[in-house]
Structure 1
Amino acid sequence: MIIKKLSNLNRFNKTILMILNDFLIIYASFLIAIYLVNNFDYFVFYISHSTTVALFSLPVFIFIGLYKSQVRYMGYKAMLNIIYATLILSLIKYSVVAFSFYKGGGVFIDYVAKNEIYLRETIIFWLVLSFFIIGSRQIARWAINSIGISSIKREFIIYGAGSAGRSVVSALLTNNEVRILGYVDDDYNLHGIYVNNYPVLGGLGYLENIETKREKVSVLLAVPSMKISRRREVLRILEENSISVRSLPPLNEIATGMTNVQKIENLRPEELLDRDPIELDLKKIQENINGKNILITGAGGSIGSELCRQIFKLNPKEIILLDHSELNLYNIHNELKEYLNHGSLKVDLVPKLGSILDEEFLKRIFQNHEIDSIYHAAAYKHVSLVEQNIIQGTKNNVIGTYNLATIASKNKIKSLIHISTDKAVRPTNFMGASKRLAELVIQGIVDHADSNLKYTMVRFGNVLGSSGSVIPLFKKQIEEGGPVTVTHEDVTRFFMTISEASQLVIQAGTQAEGGEVFVLDMGESVKINDLAKRMIRLSGYSVAKNINDEYSIAIEYIGLRSGEKLKEELILGKDLDPTNNPKVLKANEEFLNWEQVQEMIKFLQDAIFNNDTEQIKKLMLKYVTDYIPSDDYK
């Protein structure tokens, strides 16, 4: 109880206690040295000078920095400082007493000179003083840490001893649940020195040889400016050694004030892809956004919210945020307001709480705002939920898109970008089929319009980190100790990051001619099994051969879900046309004319009104090319 109260004192009071402790040790060291050398001969003479030496200790110890380092985190450098400081103090003691002997006429100076008693007493004083001061610090360190040891939830090795690493350490020192073990850094000249009282343990090679099979140990990557190639090499070595990894936000987000250097986070989803991120030239597309009024539907969702962030940075005049989720709309609106408060941009933010199924609601938005472009991200996208809620899935994904696109065309809105999915290609589930119908609606409106409407579609693969993706699921399962569930050992998916997806949408708006489908060249598809293994290893575990392995997490194969494919496709045909960006491709596919679209919508509306899911399924089979529903939902 007493130790806990002392550990909670403020910095000034703790320093006073340390000074009093050191004074007492100086007096005790005098007595021990005198006893061991002289058996207390000339005791009165020696002890009369102890107060003078003790007073000298205060400026010496302050100058050396003994009271700067925190006892809780005392390390090798702090002990060397104590030895150095006590040596200086011992030399001062030698000088003070020798000068006193000389000044006093040399009462027994000849005796001292002959027998070197005084010199031996000074050496013993130095050794005893160093031992007791270091010992008192270590006892205090042990006592303080023993109080909070049960509250330590994470130990960090900081990768990077630069300004970012030092800033992170300073921030972490205020957290009693965290312990810093030291730094590693690529700069060989820093190895072996101390930064912020913590040792630079070595370079990347050090991490290959350490034992971090303790659940609490993580390596924190604190080099925001690290080149991508180097970062991938570091991650590869950490993965091979099953070392848990945390990271700082990217340098551009720190520089723009969107986040700060103290924000520690899990590895970003894009770092789990074994490829370089796809960069789109935002300068070329800024003219499509700068000074314009933009409507974003589904603004609070994973893709919609990232679209809001990317478009916000391109300086539009107004962003209308439309979402039917109050919480999601509140979160993205507040986030963008924070950017306004800390940046130089002046953007009008208009939150609109409502549904694209409400035609009167949509009409009022178009009447009250001069909209230049629409980014349509509102949709139900979770396969299993839509399979079990066919009526609502049809209403939101198909009828909602029809409402938005027809009202937009009547209001002469020239640009609409509809966000689709690779599951719309030869779908095996109802969600994919409904998204394909939404594509046909957009294409039919373009075919019917008198004016040149640039309404287009962008197809994504799986978006890393979005709600419902495997990344949050795997992360949760790993935190709970596993097992990590994978549907099939050979299942593969195309992946892109949320940032890549949102930038592709914006770029598509600049290249659209009307009715085409844009897709992103995402390289090779990724095995979900390999992704799961990588996440396990970068969380500090190995992949278990059985569920009971310590410090290991097992992968459990649960079988393909209803409507799930082993592999996904991005286009219906075989040919893709190039665009100005080599990573962005264009597909021109067969579509329905306007009369067929209207007929389809009427049949769907009738089936929805009659709550007739069987009729909806028949309509899907009629209008969606190569739709093969799973056995459970035929």
Structure 2
Amino acid sequence: MNLITALLSLPRNTKKTILLTHDFLIILFAFWFSIAIRWDFIHEVAKKEYWVLWAITTVVTITCFIRLGLYRAVIRFLGSKVLSTALVGSIISVLILILTAYFLRIDLPRTIPILYFLLLLILLTGSRLSIRAWLQGSDRRHAVPVIIYGAGDSGRQLQEALSQLNEYYPIAFVDDDPKLHRSVIRNIGVFSPQDLQKLIERHDVKKILLAMPSIRVERRKQIIRHLEIYACEVLTIPGMKDLLDGKVSVSSLKKVSVFDLLGRTPVEPMAELMAANIADKVVMVTGAGGSIGAELCRQIMQHRPKKLVMFELSEFNLYSIDKELNEYKQLHGLDIELLPLLGSVQDQARLQAVMQTYEVATIYHAAAYKHVPMVEFNVVEGIRNNVYGTLHCAQAAIAAGVQNFVLISTDKAVRPTNTMGASKRLAELVLQALAAMPNQATCFCMVRFGNVLGSSGSVVPVFEKQILAGGPVTLTHPEITRFFMTIPEAAQLVIQAGAMGKGGDVFVLDMGEPVKIIDLAQQMVHLSGLTLKNENNPKGDIEIKISGLRPGEKLYEELLVGEQVCGTSHSRIMTAQEIFLPWPQLETLLAALDEACNNNDQPTVRHLLLQAPAAFKPKDNICDLVWQQQKMASGQPLNE
């Protein structure tokens, strides 16, 4: 055990005793040294009255220090309050010195109190600051040097918070504001972003802490892209409120996520649209435990429905969202009845019973099988859930007198190359056909959008796990691109689009610009403080491997089938005019498809999907695993 560890492990009372002894010696030195400066030390030390003066001053001074709380402070975390306490204590001490000399009629030149005061203050504060620096220096031998990007309020709050921790110590601020360059904030210099490389090399910095929580999304993305070139992990801090509330800790520092890379400035939701189909109504969400379904439930809760029916097949997912929303309800004192109901959207009787029993007014149909390869391997189940689940839910809604029905669709429904996309386009056709029927009381509409960040099956959590495991990061194709949107934004836009529906509407969300997935993977590697391993850098950390396109996967996603698209009152919601089959024709197609599914007749299923006005152009042969095994067992070729 080294000296510092031994000292820090001492009992608190022992540490206070050491400090009392330390201050006793400082008072002794300050008193006699100030006399030695003014008089001949050897001569004056013989004066007994000076020893009396020193003794009284010392006892009263130490007592004042105790009452002022000077010994309650922890030296390692010494702040300005302790230094001001030392100043007040020194002033009291010199006053005691002067008054004692006056009442005891001791000859005390006027220069001695001044010298004593200066020496006492310097020694009290200087020794404590030196001890603090010594202790913190020992901590820094094991701490990680970091750069704080942002010297504003958040950056200064972060620096203060880190001074209480042993994990990181800041060696510099970096800020875009030229006015702050070459200034010093709490003993740490402020530098230009152009100095980053020099600072990183000089101090062997491995992490950059981004302390700019309030800047615009576009500016944040620019800064993050600039930081990509450095071999440092980039961490971001929580919002300013958490900093002010003292909630900053090492655990609250988090990696810069793809939300920071791909997010965009949110558009304030239109309150009247958010509340139109929800406020004081009975709302039902199918697939309530999924990524989108759960977020829809969270958004719906904020607009005070009378009841929220959460319909879900997975018991665990239903339990999770029900627990979360009940906690939210209690926290905010909401009078909303939450109804967690297990069931399958393929069970029309169950759906109709639920809708009629609770008099559901609005349905958000989010239940679907959405993972492309899984549906390719399980074609019949994918069609049953996505097509007939939507049909049964819609028919139950009509029978129960539901006012509004909103289908959560996907960009993969546009010119699909896989069964999942074709099944979702067929689900859209179902609602379009039902909406076109005469005297239709239920208002059907559908909202089409692309990938959401953080959803189950998204590339983002897959890449994060692969990077954490040391790679490689697997990518299906170097040219693959996708649209991305955050889950909260998607849910808000779905609710607002649903409120605009007049019947049969196909709404398309503005997804922004498509993202090249290989660029995303490279950015995630760089922002983790790692380097890419490739031909140019064979000693890099993480390799990106191309695994080849999966069954049914295509390089580019689209959001529109036709070209007829119009804007709406919301800047990020468009409406499209898409072709569809009238109900009698679609009903015939659905009956034939149902029979083919019952017989597991995969070639007929494929043929009927091609016949439907879904622009289905499959990239692969039939991939259904059961059908393939049956064909192989019978000795028949798979790709007939």
| Equivalent-residue separation in structure 2 for 1:347 and 1:628 (angstroms) | 46
State the one-letter code of the partner of 2:211.
L
Say whether 1:202 aligns with 2:207: no
Q: Please show how residues 98-137 of structure 1 align to structure 2 within 5 Å.
A: 100=101, 106=107, 132-137=127-132
CA apart distance, 1:404? 0.8
Secondary structure at the aligned position of 1:565 is classed as: coil
Compared with structure 1, are the counterparts of its residues 14 and 73 closer, same or farther at alpha carbon in structure 2 (3 Å cutoff)?
Answer: farther
Say whether 1:626 aligns with 2:626: no
Secondary structure at the aligned position of 1:496 is classed as: strand
Matched with 2:450 is 461
Contact 1:363–1:407 under 8 Å retained in 2 = yes
Secondary structure at the aligned position of 2:448 is classed as: strand
Q: Which runs of 5+ in 1 are unaligned?
A: none
Contact 2:481–2:555 under 8 Å retained in 1 = yes
Say whether 1:56 aligns with 2:61: yes
| Equivalent-residue separation in structure 2 for 1:99 and 1:595 (angstroms) | 110
Secondary structure at the aligned position of 1:564 is classed as: coil
Say whether 1:425 aligns with 2:425: no
* Mean Cα deviation higher: 478-487 or 34-43: 34-43
| Equivalent-residue separation in structure 2 for 1:87 and 1:285 (angstroms) | 59
TM-score for both structures, normalised by structure 2: 0.78
Q: Percent identity?
A: 35
CA apart distance, 1:510? 2.0
Contact 1:243–1:540 under 8 Å retained in 2 = yes
| Equivalent-residue separation in structure 2 for 1:285 and 1:99 (angstroms) | 77
From 459, 462, 467, give the equivalent of 1:470.
Answer: 459
Contact 2:200–2:206 under 8 Å retained in 1 = no
| Equivalent-residue separation in structure 2 for 1:600 and 1:578 (angstroms) | 33
CA apart distance, 1:551? 8.4
Matched with 2:496 is 507
Contact 1:577–1:585 under 8 Å retained in 2 = yes
Secondary structure at the aligned position of 2:590 is classed as: helix
CA deviations 1:176-223 (Å, max 9, x no partner) are 6566778777896899676xxx66753775984642886863414364
Compared with structure 1, are the counterparts of its residues 392 and 43 closer, same or farther at alpha carbon in structure 2 (3 Å cutoff)?
Answer: farther
CA apart distance, 1:410? 1.7
Compared with structure 1, are the counterparts of its residues 121 and 455 closer, same or farther at alpha carbon in structure 2 (3 Å cutoff)?
Answer: closer
| Equivalent-residue separation in structure 1 for 2:615 and 2:304 (angstroms) | 40
Contact 1:292–1:318 under 8 Å retained in 2 = yes
| Equivalent-residue separation in structure 1 for 2:233 and 2:335 (angstroms) | 44
State the one-letter code of the partner of 1:493.
R
CA apart distance, 1:507? 1.9
Compared with structure 1, are the counterparts of its residues 123 and 406 closer, same or farther at alpha carbon in structure 2 (3 Å cutoff)?
Answer: closer
Matched with 2:567 is 578
Compared with structure 1, are the counterparts of its residues 457 and 138 closer, same or farther at alpha carbon in structure 2 (3 Å cutoff)?
Answer: same
Q: Please show how residues 234-633 of structure 1 align to structure 2 within 5 Å.
A: 234-239=223-228, 241=230, 244-248=234-238, 265-267=254-256, 269-273=258-262, 275-343=264-332, 345-448=334-437, 450-541=439-530, 543=532, 545=534, 553-623=542-612, 624-631=614-621, 633=623
| Equivalent-residue separation in structure 1 for 2:304 and 2:30 (angstroms) | 73
| Equivalent-residue separation in structure 2 for 1:211 and 1:467 (angstroms) | 37
Aligned residues: 610
State the one-letter code of the partner of 2:549.
L
Q: Which runs of 5+ in 2 are unaligned?
A: 624-638
CA apart distance, 1:356? 1.3
Matched with 2:626 is none
Compared with structure 1, are the counterparts of its residues 29 and 399 closer, same or farther at alpha carbon in structure 2 (3 Å cutoff)?
Answer: farther
Contact 1:208–1:238 under 8 Å retained in 2 = no
Secondary structure at the aligned position of 1:202 is classed as: strand
Q: Please show how residues 24-35 of structure 1 align to structure 2 within 5 Å.
A: 25-26=25-26, 29=29
State the one-letter code of the partner of 1:626.
F
| Equivalent-residue separation in structure 2 for 1:382 and 1:422 (angstroms) | 13
* Mean Cα deviation higher: 86-95 or 523-532: 86-95
* Mean Cα deviation higher: 211-220 or 414-423: 211-220
| Equivalent-residue separation in structure 1 for 2:243 and 2:300 (angstroms) | 18
Compared with structure 1, are the counterparts of its residues 133 and 576 closer, same or farther at alpha carbon in structure 2 (3 Å cutoff)?
Answer: closer
Secondary structure at the aligned position of 1:290 is classed as: coil
TM-score for both structures, normalised by structure 1: 0.79
CA deviations 1:136-194 (Å, max 9, x no partner) are 33444456677xx4xx68968484654x7787778878876566778777896899676
Kindly report the root-mean-square deviation, in angstroms, between the aligned alpha carbons of the 2 structures: 4.7
| Equivalent-residue separation in structure 2 for 1:317 and 1:590 (angstroms) | 37
| Equivalent-residue separation in structure 2 for 1:537 and 1:457 (angstroms) | 39
Compared with structure 1, are the counterparts of its residues 87 and 310 closer, same or farther at alpha carbon in structure 2 (3 Å cutoff)?
Answer: closer
* Mean Cα deviation higher: 617-626 or 585-594: 617-626
